Amino acid sequence: MAQATRRRGRRGRVALAAVAAVAFGVAGCDAGGGQEPGAAGSRTPSPRPTPLWDTRPGSVAAVGDSITRGFDACAVLTDCPEVSWATGDSEEVDSLAVRLLGRAGAAGRSWNYAETGARMEDLPEQMARAVRRRPELVAVMAGANDACRESVSAMTPVAEFRADFEAAMRTLREALPKAQVYVASVPDLKRLWSQGRTSALGKQIWKLGICPSMLGDADAMDSAAVERRAAVQQRVEDYNKVLREVCAEDRRCRTDDGQVHAYRFGTAQLSRWDWFHPSVEGQAELAEIAYRTVTAPGP
């Protein structure tokens, strides 16, 4: 992942960080119409209730950051949306959209509005673009760029992160009250540091400015470096807590229950160009986690 440098609201950040199940939602049904249960003399059955969670949504929109754009998966410093875990058409990945809709269905009924370098503050605008397609499922992966900043002090405050995610959810609900949401957790950036630092080439690339808050001085083990990485790790955990809590307030939202964060990405699942973003194999792992979460019969 490359480092974001713009102020709040500006574009131009470079890519983000690396690597989307058990459901985290509330199962149940919307109330059906018809006579009250047990009413005498009723010969007309009540309409079938609408399930709160459809395991086979008919369309998918994706929002988020460079991971969902497939950054550095196919070529250096380049988006590769065809291998996106969410909406790509690559046979090597079998994206969430392909698994749900089939390859032909995904071509016409899935859309990718993620942007390389995006932070959570960008999600409401992305969501506003996505809802125009009226998707039945919105896939969300955002937050790594909020922690991957030029310094620990520049990381997005947790309260702002929460407010931005809540704003994105409101944008969705005002337009599409019955759309479903899948939310991937923020990857374990410290795990990615520990894997990537085994590559001399990877560490040289990191010096170009990829996630300095975690990857700067990759071999340093002094107390300041250890405390810096621990602060980034804690902030990622705080972001994931926000994602779980906000999603839990929405009956049609499921998180991956921390599975992306917990996944032990190895060097095979990391880009050979930056040793931080997911490789094609890593994208396939994210697609599998997302598909299991979306198709799980209950939380």
Rg of the Cα trace of the chain? 20
Q: What whole-number percentage of the chain has pLDDT above 70?
A: 83
Q: What is the pLDDT of residue 52?
A: 87
Mean pLDDT of all residues in 127-134: 98
Q: What is the mean pLDDT of residues 101-106?
A: 96
**Residue 245: pLDDT band by 50, 70, 90 thresholds?**
very high
Residue 33 is assigned to a structural domain of this protein: no
pLDDT band at 91 (very low <50, low <70, confident <90, very high): very high
Res 10 pLDDT > 70:
no
The verdict on residue 257 lying in a domain is yes
Task: Give 211-223 pLDDT, tens digit per residue.
Answer: 999 999 999 999 9
Q: Is residue 214 part of a domain?
A: yes
For residue 100, the enclosing domain spans 60-295
pLDDT exceeds 90 at position 198? no
Place of tokens 């749900």: 100
> Has residue 48 been placed in a domain?
no
What is the rounded average pLDDT for all residues in the chain? 86
What 3-state class would DSSP assign to 199? Answer: coil
The domain total for the chain is 1
Spatial distance between the Cα atoms of 114 and 299, rounded to a whole number of angstroms: 27
Whether 111 and 89 have beta carbons less than 8 Å apart is answered as no
pLDDT of amino acid 50: 54
Structural domain includes residue 43: no
- Which domain CATH number covers 278? 3.40.50.1110
H or E, element range at 141: strand 137-141
Largest distance between two CA atoms of the chain? 79
Nearest-CA neighbor of 292 among 20, 6, 17? 20
In a domain? residue 168: yes
Q: Is the per-residue pLDDT at 268 higher than 60?
A: yes
Q: What is the mean pLDDT of residues 97-123?
A: 97
pLDDT at 49 over 90: no
pLDDT in tens, 153-191: 999 999 999 999 999 999 999 999 999 999 999 999 999
Residue 172 lies in a domain: yes
The SS3 of residue 62 is strand
* Position 108 in a domain: yes
Average pLDDT over residues 193-204: 87
Q: Are 105 and 299 in contact (CB under 8 A)?
A: no
